[in-house]
């Protein structure tokens, strides 16, 4: 690790953060009178970025559990020294005191880089709930490296960041919420039970939720406990894998328990903060409710102190785990058009891609977050082949309706285009182009291929997964997709001279 840029900053930064938190608690602004969150960002992209996402391998994976507590996905085993002052290396990795984290050494290391879209959601949530942005950023960094930790190559150890996945304790998303298994509806996982603080299923329409709260609304009485999942970006869906929903919901949870700690000190919801952990600050208690361990609270405070220093982290390009869906601002003003805002194509469609391919990609991307329904072709719901057909139909090109037909270049459903098999057997993402159909065999004893998605460039695919995850976007070059890959079809519209 590079040497720290600013050793010995702990006292100064901790004092600065403490003063900021005290000021925020004392000066709660009325709704509608919230200024912009004041996160300060250094320019530049981190070397941690690879194809928009990074899969970190925890340093203690070889020794068993990659982290000490059920709610945390990322191991933070560090170097040496007790009572270490928080510091940041030249490559934006924080070194902090481990504060007794089980399985860790005396120090912990956590990457500080924040993807731009994650940072935007954090700022919005901080403003909506008057929760210090630094605390939100620190939790995200500790839990999943701000969404960059995927752990896909660690056997039996999903991080829960990618759509449809949960960590071994049953938690999911950037901030790590306990959720039900999308397939079985059961809590927990093979290593423990993170319960279901999200409430309901991991992905649901707002209208189908048993309970739902507007962004910025915080109930004042104890009893919410298990229904913190809300629609953070106004797209009508509550999705634990949507960064906006996940981050805003986690901030709602922090604000709720902070309020309970302030106003209902004797409530069973917060009693262990005082009695077991010995914490005295309401916000510390809220962090403790996120992950009930005193070492976790102290690590979050250390990381927040570093984030409070303007030079201690860098923004990096957006993860684009899910689209920047239109959302309402805190005062209710609409901030963007959903269809247009969702397609911000950072993938860099190449010059060899024609207008029809771009139109198909744009259509597919704008459907992310919509529900899955077998046999559906849109516009409100889709199955896998219904989505890919609708995407190409939106581009003015007819393709077959079912997955097996889309895999067959001679199918008469390709009425206004030529279909070419460009890959078969081995997934080589570098050879794909935006608009290619990606086919998989995911269902045993079912005709092959049984699933299809649309490649949108930059290693990303959009597909209609199942009723639990709906239409999603995520990295294609993963062990999961490689293991079931069948092949890829390139569509060449009759109206475009695109070299195959």
In three-state form (DSSP H/G/I as H, E/B as E, the rest C), the secondary structure along 427-438 is: CCHHHCCCCCEE
Element (DSSP H or E) covering residue 364: helix 355-366
Ordered by start, the domain boundaries in the chain are 10-316, 351-493
Handedness of CA 345, 351, 354, 355 (dihedral sign): positive
Q: What is the CA radius of gyration of the chain?
A: 23
- Evaluate whether 402 touches 385 at the Cβ level (below 8 Å): yes
CATH code of the domain occupying 351-493: 3.90.1720.10
Angle between helices 294-307 and 10-26 (to 10 degrees): 90
Task: Please state the pTM of the whole predicted model.
Answer: 0.55
Full DSSP string of 107-137: EEEEE--EEHHHHHHHHHHHHHHT--HHHHH
Give dist(CA 414, CA 230) in Å, integer. 42
Q: CB neighbours (10 Å) of residue 162? A: 24
Structure tokens at 76: 């933070």
- Tens-of-pLDDT digits for all 500 residues of the chain? 333 333 344 444 445 445 544 444 343 333 333 333 333 332 222 222 222 222 222 222 222 222 223 333 333 322 223 467 888 888 788 999 999 888 778 899 998 888 878 888 999 999 999 999 999 999 999 999 888 776 554 556 678 888 888 888 999 999 999 999 988 889 998 888 988 999 999 999 999 998 888 999 998 776 666 789 999 988 888 999 999 999 999 999 999 999 988 887 766 667 777 776 778 889 999 999 888 889 999 999 999 999 887 544 555 555 544 333 322 333 332 222 222 222 233 333 333 457 899 899 989 988 988 898 888 999 999 999 999 999 999 999 999 999 999 999 999 999 878 999 999 999 999 889 999 999 999 877 677 899 999 999 888 899 998 877 889 888 888 888 999 999 999 999 876 644 44
Full DSSP string of 190-244: TTB--TTTT-S-SEEEGGG-SS---TT---SSS--SS-----SSSSSEEETTSHH
> How far is the first Cα of the chain from the last one, in angstroms, to the nearest whole number?
45
Long-range interactions of 207-211: CB distance < 8 A, separation 24+: 207/236, 209/238
Full DSSP string of 406-463: HH-TT-TT-TTEEEEEEEESS--GGG--TT-EEEE--STTS-S--EEEEEEETTEEEE
Give dist(CA 436, CA 427) in Å, integer. 13
């Amino acid at each position: 690790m590079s040497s720290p840029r600013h050793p010995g900053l702990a006292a100064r930064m901790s004092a600065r953060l403490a003063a900021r938190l005290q000021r925020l608690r004392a000066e709660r602004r009325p709704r509608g009178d919230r200024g912009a969150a004041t996160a300060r960002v250094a320019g530049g992209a981190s070397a941690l970025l690879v194809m928009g996402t990074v899969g970190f391998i925890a340093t203690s994976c070889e020794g068993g559990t990659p982290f000490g507590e059920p709610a945390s996905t990322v191991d933070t085993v560090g170097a040496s020294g007790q009572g270490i002052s928080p510091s940041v290396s030249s490559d934006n990795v924080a070194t902090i005191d481990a504060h007794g984290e089980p399985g860790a050494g005396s120090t912990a290391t956590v990457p500080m880089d924040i993807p731009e879209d994650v940072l935007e959601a954090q700022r919005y949530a901080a403003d909506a709930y008057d929760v210090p942005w630094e605390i939100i950023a620190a939790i995200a960094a500790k839990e999943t490296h701000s969404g960059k930790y995927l752990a896909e190559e660690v056997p039996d150890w999903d991080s829960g960041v990618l759509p449809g996945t949960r960590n071994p304790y049953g938690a999911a998303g950037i901030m790590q919420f306990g959720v039900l298994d999308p397939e079985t509806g059961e809590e927990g996982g093979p290593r423990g039970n993170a319960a279901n603080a999200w409430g309901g299923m991991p992905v649901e329409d707002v209208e189908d939720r048993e309970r739902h709260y507007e962004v910025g609304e915080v109930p004042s009485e104890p009893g919410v406990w298990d229904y913190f999942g809300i629609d953070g970006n106004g797209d009508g869906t509550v999705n634990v894998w949507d960064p906006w929903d996940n981050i805003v919901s986690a901030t709602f949870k922090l604000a709720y328990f902070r309020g309970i700690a302030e106003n209902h000190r004797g409530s069973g919801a917060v009693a262990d903060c005082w009695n077991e952990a010995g914490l005295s600050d309401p916000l510390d208690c809220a962090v403790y409710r996120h992950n009930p361990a005193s070492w976790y609270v102290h690590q979050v405070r250390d990381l927040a102190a570093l984030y409070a220093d303007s030079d201690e982290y860098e923004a990096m390009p957006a993860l684009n785990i899910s689209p920047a869906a239109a959302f309402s601002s805190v005062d209710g003003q609409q901030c963007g058009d959903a269809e247009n805002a969702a397609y911000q194509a950072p993938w860099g469609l190449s010059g060899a891609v024609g207008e029809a391919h771009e139109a198909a990609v744009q259509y597919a991307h704008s459907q992310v977050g919509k529900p899955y329904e077998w046999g559906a072709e849109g516009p409100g719901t889709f199955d896998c082949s219904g989505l890919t057909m609708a995407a190409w139909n939106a581009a003015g090109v007819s393709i077959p309706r079912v997955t097996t037909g889309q895999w067959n270049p001679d199918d008469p459903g390709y009425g206004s285009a030529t279909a070419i098999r460009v890959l078969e057997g081995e997934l080589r993402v570098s050879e794909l182009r935006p608009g290619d159909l990606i086919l998989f065999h995911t269902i045993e004893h079912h005709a092959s291929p049984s699933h299809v998605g649309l490649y949108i460039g930059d290693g990303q695919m959009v597909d209609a997964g199942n009723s639990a995850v709906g239409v999603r976007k995520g990295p294609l070059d993963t062990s999961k997709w490689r293991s079931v890959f069948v092949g890829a079809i390139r569509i060449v519209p009759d109206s475009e001279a695109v070299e195959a």
